[in-house]
Chain A
Amino acid sequence: MRRAWGQAWLFILPAFVFLLAFTHIPVVQTLIDSFWSTAKGRRPARFVGLENYAHMMADPIFAKAMINSAIYGAITIPASVGLSLVMALFVHRRFRGVGLMRVAFFTPTVLPLIAVANIWLFFYAPGFGLIAQLRDLVGLAPVNLVGQPATALYAVAAVTVWKEAGFFMIFYLAALQTIPEPLREAAAIEGCRPWTFFRRVTWPLIMPTTLFVSVNAVIGAFRLVDHVYVMTRGGPDNASQLLLYYIYEVGFRFWDTAYASALTMVLVAILTVVGIGQFFAADRKVHYK
């Protein structure tokens, strides 16, 4: 018994060490740092208790970043998951050029987000960009989508959806291919229409994938900010400011690492609650083989 325990620990040791060193210890260290002030010059860090959190509550940019992150998540999560499912259903068939279609849908995923952001900057470019030309074609007034506060956040969100949907499509496609064809045929003999089949058979059977994909979409919504850096830098006037990008700015541009630690704890708390909540809420509805 004792021997078995020892062996078990040996087997999980490599994963355990890395998880501890690069995830759990940094989280604990960040939590500790968030109760201290930022060390500046010769003045060492001192314990300030909840001062950083109090500052956060009064910080209008933090409030703006939280609201933006909520809107951003509310758009990108359902849009990328929904779009990926539609694309997967579309290419989960046999027709000429289906391979090309799948590659086309998946391509945004393999491109680095920085490159994607640059492509979209061209799309959005006022005057000669793709969108400007399309608007010109139908006689609409030119508009700078990334450059104006009213649309900057949505312009950034569109890029995320474009990039994430192709990735999620792969998971949905794999899930669809595990559904045996005789199920569809048995349903067809019973007079089941495609939409009813999707609702009553396909959707429940791909629920584990939906859970997995939506957890990833939530994490991605908070984690993917590279394109914000390239496209808007959170501007104009914090219109596209997101929580993680704000953490980056506070920590690495203003070097207020203590306040950045406090902000990070908020992000960790949100992701933990959402992640655990999704698993518990969805677990009862999910059919695992």
Chain B
Amino acid sequence: MMIAPDNNPADAAVTLDGVGRSFDAAVALSDINLTFAPQRFTALLGPSGCGKSTLLRLVAGLDRPTKGRVLIGARDVTDAPPVARDLSMVFQSYALFPHLTVRDNILFGLSVRRVPRADQDARLARVAGMMGLDTLLARKPAQLSGGQQQRVALARAVISERPICLMDEPLSNLDAKLRAEMRLELRALQQRLGLTVIYVTHDQVEAMTMADRIVLLNAGRVEQEGTPEDIYRHPATTFVARFIGTPPMNLIPADSLHRAGAALPPEAVSGTLVGLRPEEIMLGDHGTPADLDSVEFLGADLLITARVGGAPVVIRRPAHLPRPSGRLHLTWPADALHLFDAATFRRIAFTPAPLPAVPLLQPS
């Protein structure tokens, strides 16, 4: 079942054109220019207070921008009410009607829009089957577990058969195990139905695993936009570099590395920050010397904290390898190195040296 397959899929694109939203003196969003591609899963990622929920509400029509335009397809919907935008939404709190049964909750929209009874029943049977809710239709929301309530909320969005689905942190109230399952299910559902999903989350794992594209927001601005791999491999700013990846990327002043005698590209002058992901730093017999601070055991991995030329650096390393002690020697692949301007926090482009200065792999 594809939703609205006969319609032009481009109608399900959402475009924000110079959108801004201010609350009195506070600016929640400024100058947002984005296109959410049709039938794609886009994650709006950012820390709390970055404006991602506000952005979603502007798309939904629950809030109006103070600047700019919102377009769905080619249609300007900036001032259109939510119902005229042909989209569905899943709320963080699920927003289920507590006095209605699961069945009536799912059918609420159809009955409000006076969809014929037979049509309602057919759609309900199909959606309830798809979401595994067949046996729960007579229950009230209070009689359901969190995961089941989540499914009802999804079913209510799916049954509307609208091409765009907005989700506001829908998994944040579930426990870790259920969240992992629902991630797979949500992604499968989106692909099966060909939905345009805009998914708000503060959880980078959700964004990385489900999304076709990630829009990273910070302080009301778009920090970077791209595929998950893009954002992980080429963070545009130090904020992106530290926000994506656990533990966050090390940002070491180039001076500290020079002091320790590390081989760096010529662009790594004083006043730049060298970015190195903890998982890409290796320990060996040769390389940049570092002093060991502490070792944390995480099960599969060890988190090693050390100092390079006075600057702290975190290294992640499989726990089955022997625990390091004393003086360490760090190496990394040349293309694992990122450079940022310490004043503007922006990425500096450079060509990695063709060959690493030290052997890549050292059995330790």
Does B98 sit at the interface, judged by CB under 8 A?
Answer: yes
B59 to chain A, nearest CB (A): 11
**Chain B 86-127 interface 0/1 with A at a Cβ cutoff of 8 Å (1 = within):** 011101110101110000000011001100000000000000
Name A185's contact: one of B62, B98, B113, B142 (CB within 8 Å). B62
Q: Which residues of A contact B156 (CB under 8 A)?
A: 186
In the complex, the chain A residue whose C-beta lies closest to that of B93 is: A182
Minimum CB distance partner of B109 in chain A: A190
Choose among A185, A190, A192, A287 the residue with the greatest number of B CB atoms under 10 Å from its CB. Answer: A190
A186–B112 touching, CB < 8 Å: no
Provide the residues of chain A in CB contact with B83, threshold 8 Å.
188-191
Asked if A185 and B108 sit within 8 Å, CB to CB, the answer is no
By beta carbon, the residue of chain A nearest B153 is: A186
Interface string of B59-80 (1 = CB under 8 A from A): 0111000000000000000000
When chains A and B are docked, how far (Å) is the Cα of A192 from the Cα of B95?
14
CA distance A152 to B142 in the complex (A): 51
CB distance from B197 to the nearest CB of A (A): 15
Task: Verify B99–A204 contact, CB threshold 8 A.
Answer: yes
Q: What string of 1s and 0s marks CB contacts (under 8 Å) between A187-205 and chain B?
A: 1111110001000110011
Partner of B112, one of A182, A190, A205, A289: A190
Is there an interface contact between A190 and B91, defined as CB atoms closer than 8 Å? no
Check if B191 is an interface residue, CB within 8 A of chain A. no
A196 pairs with B112, CB closer than 8 A = yes
Q: Are A189 and B60 in contact, with the CB atoms below 8 A? A: yes
The reply to whether the CB of A20 lies closer than 8 angstroms to some CB of chain B is no
Q: Does B160 contact A (CB under 8 A)?
A: yes
CA distance A205 to B140 in the complex (A): 13
Q: Are A189 and B97 in contact (CB under 8 A)?
A: no
Query: Contact between A186 and B98 (Cβ–Cβ < 8 Å)?
Result: no
CB contacts (< 8 Å) of B60 on chain A: these are: 185, 189
Contacts of B61 in A (CB 8 A): 188-189
What separation, in Å, do the CA atoms of A196 and B89 have in the docked complex?
Answer: 19
A286 to chain B, nearest CB (A): 9
Residue numbers in A under 8 Å from B324 (CB-CB): none
Q: B146: CB under 8 A from chain A?
A: no
Q: Please tell me if the beta carbons of A188 and B98 are within 8 angstroms of each other in the complex.
A: no
Query: Which residues of B116-162 have CB atoms within 8 Å of chain A's CB atoms?
Result: 142, 156, 160
Task: Answer yes or no: A19 CB below 8 A from chain B CBs.
Answer: no
User: Does B318 make an interface contact (CB < 8 A)?
Assistant: no
Q: Is B82 an interface residue (CB 8 A)?
A: yes
Instruction: Give bound CA distance, A192 to B87, whole Å.
Output: 14
Q: For residue B88, which residue of chain A has the nearest CB? A: A189
Q: Looking at B61, B81, B97, B156, which has the most chain A CB atoms within 10 Å of its CB?
A: B97
CB < 8 Å neighbour of B98 from A187, A192, A287: A287
Q: Are A183 and B109 in contact (CB under 8 A)?
A: no
In Å, the complex CA distance between A201 and B91 comes to 17
- Let me know if B98 and A205 touch, CB within 8 A: yes
List, in ascending order, chain B residues with CB within 8 A of A205's CB. 98-99
For the complex, what is the distance from the CA of A198 to the CA of B214, rounded to whole Å? 39
Chain B residues with CB below 8 A from A60, complex form: none
The residue on A at minimum CB distance from B57 is: A185
Which residues of chain B are near A182, meaning CB under 8 Å? 91-93, 95
Complex interface residues of chain A between 145 and 203 (CB less than 8 A to chain B): 180, 182-183, 185-192, 196, 200-201
Among A180, A188, A189, A190, chain B packs the most CB atoms within 10 A around the CB of: A189
Q: How far is the CA of A200 from the CA of B112 in the complex (A)?
A: 10
Give the residue among B81, B88, B112 with the most A Cβ atoms within 10 A.
B112
Contacts of B109 in A (CB 8 A): 189-192
The answer to whether B81 touches A289, judged by C-beta atoms less than 8 angstroms apart, is no
Contact A191 B112 (CB under 8 A): yes
**Residue from the set A186, A190, A191 with the largest chain B CB neighbour count within 10 Å:** A186
Task: Kindly list chain A residues whose C-beta atoms are within 8 Å of the C-beta of B87.
Answer: 189
Distance in angstroms between the alpha carbons of A190 and B82 in the assembled complex? 8
The contact of B89 among A180, A189, A200, by CB within 8 Å, is A189
CA distance A268 to B105 in the complex (A): 43
Min CB distance A222 to B, Å, is 32
Q: In the complex, A35→B256 CA distance in Å?
A: 104
| B82 CB contacts on chain A under 8 angstroms | 185, 188-189, 191
In the assembled complex, the CB of B166 is this many whole angstroms from the nearest CB of chain A, namely: 9
**Chain A residues near B98 (CB-CB < 8 A):** 205, 287, 289
Once bound together, how far apart are the Cα atoms of A159 and B60, in whole Å? 47
Name, among B61, B95, B142, the residue most crowded by chain A CB atoms within 10 Å (CB to CB): B95
Task: List residues 300-349 of chain B with CB under 8 A from any CB of chain A.
Answer: none
Residue of A nearest to B91 (CB): A182
Closest to A204 in B: B99
Q: A189 — which chain B residues lie within 8 A by C-beta?
A: 60-62, 82-83, 87-89, 109
Measured in the bound complex, the distance between the Cα atoms of B96 and A187 in whole Å is 10
Which residues of the partner chain B approach A200 to less than 8 Å between Cβ atoms? 108, 112
The smallest beta-carbon distance between A41 and chain B, in angstroms, is 63
Residue in A closest to B97 when the chains form the complex, CB atoms: A201
- Distance between Cα atoms of A183 and B156 in the complex (Å): 13
Q: Are A192 and B112 in contact (CB under 8 A)?
A: yes
Judging by beta carbons under 8 Å apart, are B113 and A186 in contact?
A: no
In the assembled complex, which residues on chain B have CB atoms less than 8 Å from the CB atom of A204?
99
Per the bound structure, the CA–CA distance linking A99 and B9 in Å amounts to 49
Closest 7 CB pairs of A and B: A190-B109, A191-B83, A182-B95, A287-B99, A186-B95, A189-B82, A204-B99
What would 11 A/B residue contacts be, using CB atoms closer than 8 Å? A180-B93, A182-B91, A182-B93, A183-B97, A185-B89, A186-B91, A189-B60, A189-B83, A189-B87, A189-B109, A201-B99
Which residues does B use to contact A, with CB under 8 Å?
A: 60-62, 81-83, 87-89, 91-93, 95, 97-99, 108-109, 112-113, 142, 156, 160
Name 5 extra pairs, CB < 8 A, besides A186-B95, A188-B61, A191-B109: A185-B60, A188-B81, A189-B62, A190-B108, A204-B99
